Each structure stands twice: as C-alpha cells, then as structure tokens.
Amino acid sequence: MKVLRTGAVLILLTVVLVVAGGAIGGRGGMEIALVIAALMNFVSYFFSDKIALASSGARPVTREQLPRLYMVMERLAAKANIPVPKLYVVPEAAPNAFATGRNPQHASVAVTEGLLQLMNDDELEGVIAHELSHVRNYDILITSIAATIAGAITYLASMGRWGMLLGGMGGGRDDEREGGGLTMLLMVFLAPFAALLLQMLLSRTREYAADETGARMVGQPYGLISALEKLGAYNRRIPTTAISPTASALCIVKPLFGSGTLTSLFSTHPPLEDRIAALKQMTGTPLR
C-alpha cells in the first residue's frame, strides 16, 4: 500500500508538471516541462547527495574519530542488510541528522555535533535506525525526484507569471484566447500549491514509514521516542545555522531557521507529537 501511494503521488506530480506546461505554453510548454523534469531528475539522481553534504558543511569522519557512531552504524547496517554508509559530522549545535544518496551503495549519513552530545546510546541507535530505513527504502531518491518535479512546476509557474505580465504566453487562436488565458491563470497559481501539497504528502508518508521501520530494526521504539522528544525540544530553542533550508527536508526533524514562522503549516515533516504517538501505539503504550 505504501509503495502504491508513493507511486501515485509521483505520477500525480508528473501530471501536474505536464498539464501546467501545456496550459502555460501549449504543446511546446509540455515538451519544455518534460525536458526540464528529465534534466533536473538526472542532476538530482547523481548529485543530490553531494549538494546536501556540501551545503551543510558536513565533514567525513573516521572510525578512530567517532568509534561510538561507527559501532552503532555498523551493527544496524548489518541488521538492515545494506552497506555501511559514509559518515559525516555537521558543525552544528542544533541536534539533527539526515541521510542522502541515490541507493544503499552510494549512501551517506550526517549527524550534527549537537546530536552526538545530546543523545545517549539508545537514542542514537533510534536516530541511526531511522536514517538507515530511509536508505534501505530508497526514500532519499524518491523525495529528491519529487522535490525536483515540484521545483520544475514552480519554475514554470514563474515563467507563466512573467509571460502574463509581458503578454507573450498562454495565447492561442482568437476563439480560444479567453479560455486559454483563464486556464493559464489557474495553473500559474494553483499548480505550485498542488505540487507543494503532493510533495508534503509524500515526505510525511516516508517519515512515518522510516520511524516504524527503524523501531522494528532496533527491536523496540523507546530509544527513537526519547530521541524525537529531545530533538523537538532542542530544535525549538536552537536555530540551525549550518544545514541549508534546501536540505532541511532530509532531516529527521524540521530544523528551526531563525525565529519560528507560519511555514510550519506547510512542513515536509509530520508533527512530532503524531510521530511519537504512532510509535507508542506499536507497543500499546497509553498516550499522554
């Protein structure tokens, strides 16, 4: 069911991209939209991990530098039957972690210095299991493709707005001009919003799945529950400075950039309270 839902969302995103391209630029617009999607997906497939790590200032670490992290990672990677990812540390006080890479053979996991200082062994194990679940389930590739398509839709909508201002796009035969102009107007403003909602749905679904898979990988959800509670508390107080906003969707919890804003209403992450409640239900723990 989760696989079908993910596939359906990606198909819907592609449909929105093609329809928006057609409404904004006719047949040529659809062709341009498909070319943009193909090029951006190519870049995303091969370079999204390098972009995320570089933009966050992540540094590779060795087993000698962080034996505790390597021990947890190697044990859980063996349980998940995947290669041990490359490990990185982000010079960031706010606790967080993210995984990136197009498949398990090219995966990397980055944790912040704040997370290593804050988490006990059980909590660190829960966080790493969550990230390895993303790697095993190819979530990074899926969400990167979704973000790429959504970005192409937004780009096309921006082109459409400029075209409307300049009077050079969306036109057609005289008897179709009025209807085409209305369709274009709707696409320019509604297509990016639809893409955002679909991207949010996909990302939130994968976060719930990674929580569940990670808890089962460890054998119990308590470490991850405690980790999420700590991450929520600290990330409401400590602004993130190193992890870039473009990489924030990869993080285990939504980072705080500056002061809190209404953007949380459109977050790619589910509410922490809901994620914790779902984990507690796995063991029948009464909700507080």
Q: Which residue ranges make up each domain of the chain?
A: 2-281
pLDDT of residue 80: 93
pLDDT of residue 283: 77
Q: 98-156: per-residue pLDDT in tens?
A: 999 888 999 999 999 999 999 999 999 999 999 999 999 888 777 767 766 776 677 67
Find the mean pLDDT for residues 44-64: 88
Between 14 and 106, where is the model more confident? Answer: 106
Q: Which residues contact 110 (CB under 8 A, 6 or more apart)?
A: 52, 53, 56, 58, 87, 88, 89, 90, 97, 98, 99, 100
Amino acid (1-letter code) at residue 56: S
pLDDT of residue 178: 45
| pLDDT exceeds cutoff 80 at 185 | no
Query: What would you report as the CA-atom Rg of the chain, rounded to the nearest whole angstrom?
Result: 21
pLDDT of residue 161: 66
| pLDDT exceeds cutoff 60 at 164 | yes
| pLDDT exceeds cutoff 90 at 215 | yes
Q: Could you tell me the pLDDT band of residue 174, with boundaries at 50, 70 and 90?
A: very low
Q: Which residues contact 86 (CB under 8 A, 6 or more apart)?
A: 60, 107, 108, 109
Q: How many residues does the chain have?
A: 288
Residue 48 burial by Cβ neighbours in a 10 Å radius (0-12, 13-18, 19+) = buried
Residue where the block lists tokens 């990330």: 235
Q: List, by residue number, the catalytic residues.
A: 131
| pLDDT exceeds cutoff 50 at 235 | yes
Q: Could you tell me the pLDDT band of residue 93, with boundaries at 50, 70 and 90?
A: very high
pLDDT of residue 30: 64
Q: Distances in Å between the alpha carbon of 170 and those of 19, 155, 195, 234? A: 13, 16, 20, 49
How far apart CA 217 and CA 266 sit, in angstroms, is 30
pLDDT of residue 9: 66
Percentage of the residues of the chain whose pLDDT score is greater than 90: 41
- By C-alpha distance, which of 253, 221, 213 is closest to 237? 253
Between 133 and 173, where is the model more confident? Answer: 133
Q: Could you tell me the pLDDT band of residue 4, with boundaries at 50, 70 and 90?
A: low
Q: What is the mean pLDDT of the chain?
A: 80
Amino acid (1-letter code) at residue 140: I
DSSP codes, the chain: -HHHHHHHHHHHHHHHHHHHHHHHHHHHHHHHHHHHHHHHHHHHHHHHHHHHHHHTT-EE--TTT-HHHHHHHHHHHHHHTSPPPEEEEE--SS--EEEE-SSGGG-EEEEEHHHHHH--HHHHHHHHHHHHHHHHTTHHHHHHHHHHHHHHHHHHHHHHHHHHHHT-SS---TTTHHHHHHHHHHHHHHHHHHHHHHHHHHHHHHHHHHHHHHHHHHT-SHHHHHHHHHHHHHHTTS--SSS-GGGGGGBSSPPP-SS--GGGGG-SS--HHHHHHHHHHTTTPPP-
pLDDT of residue 177: 46
